Amino acid sequence: MHFSFMQICKSGAIDILEQEAKGEAIICKDGGNRIRTEIRREITDQIIDFLAKVNLN
């Protein structure tokens, strides 16, 4: 499982998470072949397209 759809982690977040709760840094690690910025751009584009189609903007 990966959490690539979540926010982009701040610099040093992996180290902080591991210190606080071992194993929780997984939320900052991307899975698959795509990076978070690509995924977030695609999600944003899909939301914008949807809103344009239903005239909510």
Residues 9-54: tens digit of each pLDDT: 899 999 999 999 998 888 888 877 888 888 889 989 999 999 888 8
Tokens of 33: 């072949």
- Residue 3: helix, strand or coil by DSSP? coil
Predicted TM-score (pTM) above 0.75? no
Q: What is the pLDDT of residue 16?
A: 94
Q: Where are the beta strands (DSSP E) in 1-57?
A: none
**C-alpha distances in Å from residue 40, one per residue of 5, 16, 22, 47, 55:** 6, 23, 27, 11, 22
